[in-house]
Chains A and B, each alone.
Chain A
Amino acid sequence: MNAMEHLIVVPIALPLATAALVTLVDERRLWLKGAISLASIAAVIGVAIVLMATAGSPRAYALGGWPAPFGIVLVADRLSIAMVALAAVLALAATVFSLARWHRASPRFHALVQFLLMGLDGAFLTGDLFNLFVFFELLLAASYGLALYGSGTARVQASLHYIVINLVASLFFLVGVSLIYGVTGTLNMADLAHRIPAVPAGDRFLVEAGAAVMSLAFLVKAGMWPLGFWLPPAYAAASAPAAALLCILSKVGFYAVLRLWLLLFGGETYGAFLAAAGMATLAFAIVGVLASQSLGRIASYSLLASSGMLLAALGVGGAAAVGAALYYLAASTLGIAALFLLTELVQRARQPGADVIALTAEAFGMDAAEEGEDEPGIAIPAVMAVLGLSFMGCALLVAGLPPFPGFVGKFALLAAVLRPQGTGPAAWTLLALVMLSGLASLVALARAGMRIFWATEWRTLPRVRVIEIAPVGMLLTLLLVLTVAAGPAMTYFQRAAHELAARSGYIEAVLGRP
């Protein structure tokens, strides 16, 4: 085993070690904590880039050297590496943003981000069903801390619902896993892909019931329609850097559904269910976006809309739509994270108490000291122009208009959905819903933007520091790059989709036989 192969475990081991390290650092040396944390995230991004650049057939890494069906394996294929990179980029943006002031609210911020990153990377890389559960619990535990971060009544209330619902979902996950284990006798995902077709017909329904019960846990995280009511309050109440990071959490649910559906069941059955559920989510999100007053809620419903669109596209288009769906996933996650970060900066511009419905920072009991005007650091000039332009960028992206990749992603998704079965009513319904959701986002964001940026009375111009606007700028730049380099990016995601659909590469990498 050469050094290259050990790279696969770095995205899990490094954040774990870093989290332990920053916990030990003295609370007064917050900048040191931040620097260590940033270095670790940068290293994870570096590893992800190296793995992406050298991506060939899927690579398996046997933890502790135990051979595959008995030990736990990590598997790095194109999809999981891309998700690792996406999570790390969001962690980078959130950590840089927090350096301005959020990380002062508690000395544990950086440790929580690192633990979340570790859980996310583990969930993306693992090739074992029970290990997936453990990493889900790890990332959820960190996300509870982040959702509560900054405290205050609204956050504690929303997080209480969030935690209870996700604990119940985790119990469903366990029931599903043990049902599948009880029938097939294995937890290794590649081994399961082998054994499930061989399950006798009488026991088949037990496996499918197990998978269905387990999917509940994933779909709760993805915010699928009847299971996603907890999401908008929790995300809208969360502090800006935490909300930006939690964006990826809903995509973990989608990732797990995608991986298991294609690997274990070949993506053949239950497409209609996913399509219907996704479309219901999308419809719910459209209504929610239009009904929302505060930017945080608009962003949360946009997140639900992107989840719904992904699930529906998967259900309607099947394996053919996966490549486009992954591109859209990356674009929408980065864009909505940027919107969450921007929300707080923009809210700062509004006069306190001018908008009762809007969830301002004051409502969450941020200390007066935290609000201090004479914070160190360089404030940016022409603050409203910069904020306005960034806001416009986010709005265009979420609504799916050019030049941002939301447009390319939606276009590719619809093209993939319409091409094979263009006459099907499901495809046309999805098309109509996607168009409507774009329109609804545009209406909602334009309305919010007008109220914020065209308001006549500015008591004080908000003070926005370079370090706060930089992550937003970074995310938007990355999105522009994703548009310009749409060709190579799409090729990468199409290859990832082929790998997923073919399955044999994954199974061979893990078990050493096709």
Chain B
Amino acid sequence: MELIVSLGIGVLAGSGVWLLLRPRTFQVIIGLSLLSYAVNLFIFFMGWVRGGRAPIVEAGTAPDFARFADPLPQALVLTAIVISFATTALLLVVVLAARGLTGTDHVDGRESGE
């Protein structure tokens, strides 16, 4: 399971970085989204002990981490998701403005040959 999770995060992050380095603004946005998914999963799995455990301490049992998942990373990841969602939306507006002003979707505002 650890291997699958790590591979998943790695593939997401790798694709994200590759897209981020592409010259088109749309690719950059998709790259950023993939990268933020990878980071969100990474945070989430920091508090994940084993499957099937809710982040709730049951009444009458000792509060040890073998019985429940750590709730804090789940709270953190919610915040991180909201923030990255909002900033990506903001970036989208800037990208559209740049497209309108420069007439190209190249990140430098001009085609590389010009």
A: residues with CB less than 8 A from B are: 130, 134, 137, 140-141, 144, 148, 151-153, 156-157, 159-161, 163-164, 167-168, 170-171, 174-175, 177-179, 181-182, 187
B5 within 8 A of A: no
Question: Which A-chain residue is minimally distant from B83 (CB atoms)?
Answer: A137
B69 within 8 A of A: no
Selected from A140, A141, A153, A168, the residue in CB contact (under 8 A) with B109 is A153
Contact B102 A157 (CB under 8 A): yes
Residues of B within 8 A of A163 (CB): 87, 90-91, 94
B42 within 8 A of A: yes
Residues of B within 8 A of A160 (CB): 25, 91, 94-95, 98, 107
Contact B39 A164 (CB under 8 A): no
B108 within 8 A of A: yes
Contact A170 B107 (CB under 8 A): no
In Å, the complex CA distance between A29 and B70 comes to 50
Given the known interface contacts A137-B87, A160-B25, A171-B36, the answer about A182 and B46 at a Cβ–Cβ threshold of 8 Å is: yes
B54 within 8 A of A: no
Contact A164 B28 (CB under 8 A): yes
| Minimum CB–CB distance for B42 against chain A, Å | 6
| Minimum CB–CB distance for B87 against chain A, Å | 6
Question: Which A-chain residue is minimally distant from B107 (CB atoms)?
Answer: A160
B: residues with CB less than 8 A from A are: 20, 25, 28, 32, 35-36, 39, 42-43, 46-47, 72-73, 76, 79-80, 83-84, 86-88, 90-91, 94-95, 97-98, 101-102, 107-109
Could you give 16 example pairs across A and B, Cβ below 8 Å? A144-B94, A151-B97, A153-B102, A156-B97, A156-B101, A157-B98, A160-B94, A160-B107, A163-B94, A164-B20, A164-B28, A167-B84, A167-B88, A168-B32, A178-B43, A182-B47
Selected from B72, B73, B94, the residue in CB contact (under 8 A) with A156 is B94
Contact A164 B101 (CB under 8 A): no
Contact A175 B42 (CB under 8 A): yes
Contact A181 B46 (CB under 8 A): yes
In Å, the complex CA distance between A168 and B98 comes to 19
Selected from B25, B32, B46, the residue in CB contact (under 8 A) with A178 is B46
